[in-house]
Structure 1
Amino acid sequence: MPANGAPTKITQGSKTRGGIGESTLRPDGTLKVTGEFAYSSDMWHEDMLWGQILRSTVAHAEILSIDTSEALAMPGVYAVMTYDDLPTEVKNYGLEIRDTPVLAHGKVRHHGEPVAIVAADHPETARRAAAKIKVDYRELPVITDEKSALAPDAILVHEHRDDHHIGHVPHPNVVHRQPIVRGDVAQARRRADVIVEGEYTFGMQDQAFLGPESGLAVPEEDGGVHLYIATQWLHSDLRQMAPVLGLPEEKVRMTLAGVGGAFGGREDLSMQIHACLLALRTGKPVKIVYNRFESFFGHVHRHPAKLYYEHGATKDGKLTHLKCRIVLDGGAYASASPAVVGNASSLAVGPYVVDDVDIEAIALYTNNPPCGAMRGFGAVQACFAYEAQMDKLAKKLGMDPVEFRQLNAMEQGTIMPTGQPVDSPAPVAELLRRVKAMPLPPERQWESSEGADVRQLPGGLSNTTHGEGVVRGVGYAVGIKNVGFSEGFDDYSTARVRMEVVGGEPVATVHTAMAEVGQGGVTVHAQIARTELGVAQVTIHPADTQVGSAGSTSASRQTYVTGGAVKNACELVREKVLEIGRRKFGSYHPAWATAELVLEGGKVVTDGGEVLAGLADVLEGEAVEVEEEWRHRPTEPFDLRTGQGNGHVQYSFAAHRAVVEVDTELGLVKVIELACAQDVGKALNPLSVVGQIQGGTTQGLGVAVMEEIIVDPRTAKVRNPSFTDYLIPTILDTPTIPVDVLELADDHAPYGLRGIGEAPTLSSTPAVLAAIRNATGLELNRTPVRPEHLTGTA
């Protein structure tokens, strides 16, 4: 403390290279592009066994018997386990509702549900043994849609529900219901000069991550187990696993292994419990790696949806009201469906001012594949519908679609339909202006003096056209996405930061449980440490459960929340370092007590630029370590009758302009460009920011024109569980994606940042659909658009 007793003002360093605002390179980037990065599927252990899961071949059936004798008799098989072999009375797990059995018991509820697990000394032996398990099923009728789920005589997917949502739903086959009611829609409807209605269908999308589910469970001498796993949330996995394994949480140790993408698909458990059960049963390390076919059954998908919308507007273009109903298919188990319902309902209006709303969102239990988290969940489905409605209204009013949106755009201070004020920048109109102002790509790019470049045409290298019947379309869309966990969830993160001298240089070590799934958190954490501590060398400790929870790598929250925790811990470390410096050197120079001090370039520097000491000298013989939690401002649950409540932390916004060319004769689409403008608050790493925006944009493109898991409505079986039949964009399908980054700081967030990863996924899909409608004049109220929808043969 200074002599006068006033605390020293600590200010942030700004000149250390590789800090906040710079485009630093990823530490794992070179390894990944050269194929040397160790993913979880690359792990190995001496004397390791291989695990295999037997999955149901039907979607809904009673299990009459399971015969494992032939599998157990096979040479090389160490264990076969079914539901009856589970070690505790706790046999279910779940993110919010513990309704998912570790292994099926009594009945199976979806195609591909785990029924038995096998451990053997070779993966082929394990697969052959699983195939020898005989399961006798008695098939039951399947629930596949709203009509069959909510019929008065409907079969119940879950016969005995005891979760806290049951009192708030109209039928046991409804997982969760959230209405949002504000104002008087009936009265507002009378003020409308035009009214448009629409029924929209959104297909089931797969996360299609690079690395299938995999992990390695190693039994330990104390009777516990150590799981090396590719996941999104170590501590959530731990919370669900330990009761089923019959172990205290401290005996279930978890370390993050290399993750090959996630996008929500790793937020739920997959093979975690199965690997640990087999390791504990056999006393040997057990590795499980899904193949791509299994992966389609082993994780949740994006909720398919039916959306029913009605909007009204005055003749001068002001929105009067919104009435809508959103029905999400949650599949056989709850997963994140309650949270998806909350997002879909609370963001159903979009980034617009509408004072009078009547919204209902529900999620169903069906016998379709379980659905849960995927990038932008709930908000993605709603954006597809409300943006189509904006185009319909603009057309009916004879207005430019961008100007119509700008006229109704929300801004800072707007009251959301939930009654929550938007208290940070909401530059919706500006984003639309920016994206519209971007130069359009040249017409007829496929033409050149040397002949047609078929790669630029619909159909591409299939050489289906040389421009005959090809028309261009341009479309716009804008979306709003919440950032962070909502509705009263205790959303926090923990960071441990240590500073010491290693080899004569000051080094900071950052330890969190954040799952690095490709989003670049390990880069940002190092940038924060360099900025706050003024050191060049930063070590990122592997993520594990030996430090407090960092929450999930989802909801665009990690840079905000775990970044906030790292920043907070660094600030406390900095204060302790300066206290050491004052103790050692304060008597030699009065600036130690009176000046504003920063840590910069490995030195302690005054506000006037005078170097007081080197950090290595200050820390010589000492180390400073702090573990600190960080929370953003609290949220609250939405009222279950009216939907009112301050349910969200922060909002992010992105706008897109799509340019497409359509072969109207063959129904083929080529997306030429997807320009994006997005407000990111503060670009901590500009290169990563652009990469996130382009990646999210591409996933939105996929669900617009090609991606859909097809489920047979008669049997509820998945018909295309492979990348041969489930199509995702390749480099030949990916258009030019110019990005305009706007930085309007949110004063409530660390560095003013805004979560960015999900918002571009929202608006890219409806922008592409709007462009195709512009080219063809067709209504096109479903995703993905297929050739038969464009040629009238559907």
Structure 2
Amino acid sequence: MSQTASGQSRTRPSGQGLGESAPRPDGTLKVTGEFAYSSDLYLADMLWGATLRSPHPSAWIRSVDIGPALAMPGVYAVLTHEDVPGERFYGLDRKDQPVLAVDQVRYQGEPVAIVAADHPETARRAAAVIVVEYEEREPVTDARRAVFDAACPEVHPGGNIVRHQPVRVGGEFTADVVVRGEYEVGMQDQAFLGPESGLAVPAEDGGVDLYVATQWLHVDREQIAPCLGLPPGKVRLTLAGVGGAFGAREDLSMQVHACLLALRTGRPVKFVYGRQESFYGHVHRHPAWMRYEHGATRDGRLVYVKAEIVLDGGAYCSSSPAVVGNAASLGVGPYEVPNVEIDAYGTYSNNPPCGAMRGFGAVQACYAYESQMDRLAEACGLDPVEIRVRNAVSQGSRLATGQVIESPAPLAGMLRELAAMPLPAGEAATDLRSMPGGVAQTTHGEGVRRGIGYGVGIKNICYSEGFDDHSTARVKIEVLGGEPHVLVHTAAAEVGQGLVMVQAQIARTELGVERVTVAPADTTVGSAGSTSASRQSYVTGGAVREACLAVRERLDDLRAERPGVPLADLLELSGPVEETREYRHRPTYPMDPVTGQGDSHTQLALCVHRAVVDVDVDLGLVKVVELSAVQDVGKILNPMALEGQIHGGTAQGLGLALMEEIQVRDGRMLNPSFTDYLIPTILDMPPMTISILENPDPDAPYGLRGAGEPPTLSSTPAIAAAVRAATSLPLTRIPIRPSDIALPDA
């Protein structure tokens, strides 16, 4: 038994409340193939949409002839920018992205025209016969040139710098030991399994209903409605089944296009991107170039950090300003540093657009500052764990922005626990089945060497820098079938992380009712913000909790009026009880544009990784033998789901370290397919040892910390460090390629 706030006892449903591994309501459907994703949507009279995209990364559009497409049987509409009835530009942070290209294209794959036809193949063929006359121009593809070369052409009027964020602390930049390095991070794709898709249905009121896979229903609507020339109330969004997101669904893809065609034809219109088009149709992780300098005392105490960080945002702004803010504010990592000089830049270029991806901004900086900590350890003659322990933040420490870490931050203890974990038995593998390259008989292990590396990451949770970060929840309890039943309704997007399950667990815990249904997310309830920044358990979980507490208070009043009456009978007498509540975390503030100072984050999360790798220096192949992790999550809401998040985040970090990169040459993408863009499989993921700590954050609901992103930060530098240890090579760029490892004289 557990107690309500008023002391009224209630029964928590066994195995379904907070702290227990409650089963996911969508889990069985997904593993049996019965779950309905957005690409499965169907209406009998629907049309199919297709997009004509630019083959050039930078060009003027001199003419567009849609006549050949309109002449094809089965084609119902062909639209260009001239057919957009409202605003022709949209964007998350700046309205700089055209619905359809107006007078120019700024990246390869930019939408130029859209088609609706009675069959998907007809739509694709019609798009292919549209005649566009381009005048190509030299693309801007070097982000450093875009930032530092005044003679570089402007991708957008007003300059190529999207944001420059300095951080300045102290002024002493001399030290006994100094290490310097330049680092690069390649462009990573979110690689979700369900490509962009949705169905737009014209409504009788002149509006449109859109069923779509997205991360952010209300901000989608805020961008879509002005482009359609409609009030927001006439644009209604419902979340369709989402096959993964990881940040790529924060920006619009086919949303406006489907709605435009539906309103023009008076018929439902469905879009489903193929895999190649998906690579062109969404943002990616910002590639980065970083120059770091660390100064320390001879015993390894940090004196200063200087850094220059350039993040390539590609053709449009997207969320680049926030990515820059994260890279700048977290650019020295979870270490105490009295003197800091950071300059972080986000820039426009004619490369593919980049935006949100798991851990954005913090991931790129983490690879650089952790690589530097290893260099500093070597220069000081210290163990890589020890140098991190000596400089680790703790509760009460200040970040480079001056913000005090007010909640538990037991980083030194986490590192010691990680270092004490048993290592895999034996030396580098000699069994062909366990070696890099497997049983291909390319080697018998003569060149296989083992390495061990460590990585530490710090990630902000929830939105930062003064963004109004809130969520809304509506909770109703009523009698259905003679039993109490709870309905939870939010606009929070379930993208595979288990949020539907967590909302139900909160309702069961707070109201003591077994039967809980989570309604489909849509825009008929207040905004829940984006499913990103590891924030939904915190913010939407907080909103559901607040709404449940309000319902519980009313139930307690009813019980006081009729003591001893069973809950079902009370509800029969009173009718349904419903409450809606908003939840906001404590305020954050923008970073000072000159000094970078300010309390820009609401919560910070820590994760540390140790990687053990076997490297074949003859073939340049790497096999990750083991990954161990220690993470502080504040409060465990669902143990199994939490472990899944740590495994998943770690896998994406492994991919960035060793294999995942969109190859771009002269602004053109060379590998837009899962044949050539490699992602980790179950064969690439090693066994994991995980220690999960619970040090509650007093300002967060239930004391929880967002947990999905931090493992992505620390796993990447740990693996890179292990490969360096095995090869004695500097390896300053990720992903590490076989050609970076294979010794020319081997």
User: TM (normalized to structure 2)?
Assistant: 0.98
Where does residue 395 of structure 1 map in the other structure? Answer: 378
> Which piece of structure 1 moves more, 736-745 or 327-336?
736-745
Q: CA deviation at 1:671?
A: 0.5
Q: CA deviation at 1:407?
A: 0.7
Select 1:724's aligned residue among 669, 675, 698.
675
Is 1:655 matched up with 2:633?
no
**CA deviation vs aligned residue, 1:711-769 (integer Å, no higher than 9, x gap):** 10xx3100110011100011111111221100100010010000000000000000000
Q: How far apart are the structure 1 equivalents of 2:475 and 2:638?
A: 21
Contact 1:10/1:575 (<8 A) preserved: no
- Amino acid in the other structure paired with 1:702: G
Where does residue 393 of structure 2 map in the other structure? Answer: 410
Is 1:706 matched up with 2:704?
no
Where does residue 90 of structure 2 map in the other structure? Answer: 93
Q: How far apart are the structure 1 equivalents of 2:319 and 2:680?
A: 26
- Amino acid in the other structure paired with 1:348: G
Q: How far apart are the structure 1 equivalents of 2:152 and 2:388?
A: 42
**CA deviation vs aligned residue, 1:161-196 (integer Å, no higher than 9, x gap):** 4xxxxxxxxxx1001111111111xx2x33x21000
Q: CA deviation at 1:455?
A: 3.1
- Amino acid in the other structure paired with 2:116: A
Where does residue 245 of structure 2 map in the other structure? Answer: 262
Is 1:680 matched up with 2:633?
yes
SS at structure 1 position matched to 2:669: coil
Select 2:108's aligned residue among 111, 129, 139.
111
Is 1:754 matched up with 2:705?
yes
Is 1:620 matched up with 2:572?
yes
| Percent of aligned pairs with the same amino acid | 63
Where does residue 40 of structure 2 map in the other structure? Answer: 42
Where does residue 640 of structure 1 map in the other structure? Answer: 593
Q: CA deviation at 1:674?
A: 1.1
Is 1:768 matched up with 2:719?
yes
SS at structure 2 position matched to 1:462: coil
Select 2:458's aligned residue among 452, 461, 480.
480
> Which piece of structure 1 moves more, 664-673 or 284-293?
664-673
Contact 2:428/2:449 (<8 A) preserved: no
Q: CA deviation at 1:459?
A: 1.1
Q: How far apart are the structure 2 equivalents of 1:670 and 1:152?
A: 44
Is 1:567 matched up with 2:545?
yes
Q: CA deviation at 1:154?
A: 1.7
SS at structure 1 position matched to 2:510: helix
Q: How far apart are the structure 2 equivalents of 1:140 and 1:120?
A: 33
578 and 774 in structure 1: CA distance in 2 versus 1, 3 angstrom threshold: same
Where does residue 207 of structure 2 map in the other structure? Answer: 224
Contact 1:13/1:531 (<8 A) preserved: no
**CA deviation vs aligned residue, 1:576-620 (integer Å, no higher than 9, x gap):** 1111122233xxxxxxxxxxxxxxxxxxxxxxxxxx442112212
Q: How far apart are the structure 2 equivalents of 1:440 and 1:465?
A: 25
- Amino acid in the other structure paired with 1:39: Y
Q: How far apart are the structure 2 equivalents of 1:117 and 1:309?
A: 46
Q: How far apart are the structure 2 equivalents of 1:360 and 1:545?
A: 39
Q: CA deviation at 1:355?
A: 1.2
Contact 2:6/2:556 (<8 A) preserved: no
SS at structure 1 position matched to 2:230: coil
Map 1:379-390 onto structure 2 (within 5 A).
379-390=362-373
Map 1:39-188 onto structure 2 (within 5 A).
39-88=37-86, 90-149=87-146, 150-159=148-157, 161=158, 172-184=159-171, 187=172
Contact 1:217/1:285 (<8 A) preserved: yes
Contact 1:57/1:111 (<8 A) preserved: yes
Q: How far apart are the structure 2 equivalents of 1:36 and 1:709?
A: 32
Q: How far apart are the structure 1 equivalents of 2:145 and 2:127?
A: 33
SS at structure 1 position matched to 2:35: coil
Q: How far apart are the structure 1 equivalents of 2:271 and 2:185?
A: 33
**CA deviation vs aligned residue, 1:222-249 (integer Å, no higher than 9, x gap):** 1000000000000010000000001111
Q: CA deviation at 1:443?
A: 2.1
Is 1:738 matched up with 2:689?
yes
Q: CA deviation at 1:468?
A: 1.5
SS at structure 2 position matched to 1:516: coil
Select 1:534's aligned residue among 512, 516, 523.
512
User: How many residues align structurally?
Assistant: 739
Is 1:205 matched up with 2:202?
no
Q: CA deviation at 1:10?
A: 5.4
Q: How far apart are the structure 1 equivalents of 2:439 and 2:713?
A: 29
Where does residue 326 of structure 2 map in the other structure? Answer: 343
Q: How far apart are the structure 1 equivalents of 2:10 and 2:372?
A: 48
Contact 1:229/1:256 (<8 A) preserved: yes
Q: CA deviation at 1:430?
A: 1.5
**CA deviation vs aligned residue, 1:15-72 (integer Å, no higher than 9, x gap):** 4321110011111001111111100000001111000000000000000000000000
Q: How far apart are the structure 2 equivalents of 1:121 and 1:60?
A: 32
SS at structure 2 position matched to 1:765: helix
Where does residue 510 of structure 1 map in the other structure? Answer: 488
SS at structure 1 position matched to 2:184: strand
SS at structure 1 position matched to 2:95: coil
Map 1:399-438 onto structure 2 (within 5 A).
399-438=382-421
Contact 1:200/1:385 (<8 A) preserved: yes
Q: How far apart are the structure 2 equivalents of 1:624 and 1:19?
A: 21
Contact 1:445/1:456 (<8 A) preserved: no
Q: CA deviation at 1:8?
A: 7.5
Gaps of 5+ in 1: 1-6, 162-171, 586-611
- Amino acid in the other structure paired with 1:71: A
Gaps of 5+ in 2: none
Contact 1:263/1:374 (<8 A) preserved: yes
486 and 262 in structure 1: CA distance in 2 versus 1, 3 angstrom threshold: same
SS at structure 1 position matched to 2:501: helix
755 and 13 in structure 1: CA distance in 2 versus 1, 3 angstrom threshold: farther
Contact 2:618/2:743 (<8 A) preserved: no
Where does residue 500 of structure 1 map in the other structure? Answer: 478
Contact 1:660/1:670 (<8 A) preserved: yes
356 and 41 in structure 1: CA distance in 2 versus 1, 3 angstrom threshold: same
**CA deviation vs aligned residue, 1:271-316 (integer Å, no higher than 9, x gap):** 0000000000000000000000000000000000001100011011
SS at structure 1 position matched to 2:664: coil
Where does residue 444 of structure 2 map in the other structure? Answer: 466
Contact 2:429/2:614 (<8 A) preserved: no
SS at structure 2 position matched to 1:148: helix
Map 1:547-562 onto structure 2 (within 5 A).
547-562=525-540
Where does residue 291 of structure 1 map in the other structure? Answer: 274
Select 2:27's aligned residue among 19, 26, 29.
29
SS at structure 2 position matched to 1:511: strand
SS at structure 1 position matched to 2:557: helix
**CA deviation vs aligned residue, 1:618-664 (integer Å, no higher than 9, x gap):** 21241100111000100011110011111000000000000000001
Q: How far apart are the structure 2 equivalents of 1:689 and 1:507?
A: 27
SS at structure 1 position matched to 2:210: strand
- Amino acid in the other structure paired with 1:48: M
Q: How far apart are the structure 1 equivalents of 2:5 and 2:671?
A: 64
SS at structure 2 position matched to 1:20: coil
- Amino acid in the other structure paired with 1:154: C
**CA deviation vs aligned residue, 1:339-389 (integer Å, no higher than 9, x gap):** 000000000010100011001100110000000000000000000000000
Is 1:690 matched up with 2:661?
no
Contact 2:586/2:602 (<8 A) preserved: yes
Where does residue 609 of structure 1 map in the other structure? Answer: none
- Amino acid in the other structure paired with 1:35: G
Across the aligned residues of Structure 1 and Structure 2, the Cα RMSD in angstroms comes to 1.4
Q: CA deviation at 1:461?
A: 4.2
SS at structure 1 position matched to 2:562: helix
Q: How far apart are the structure 2 equivalents of 1:317 and 1:559?
A: 38
- Amino acid in the other structure paired with 2:519: H
Q: How far apart are the structure 2 equivalents of 1:466 and 1:697?
A: 29
Select 1:247's aligned residue among 225, 230, 234.
230
Q: How far apart are the structure 2 equivalents of 1:546 and 1:49?
A: 26
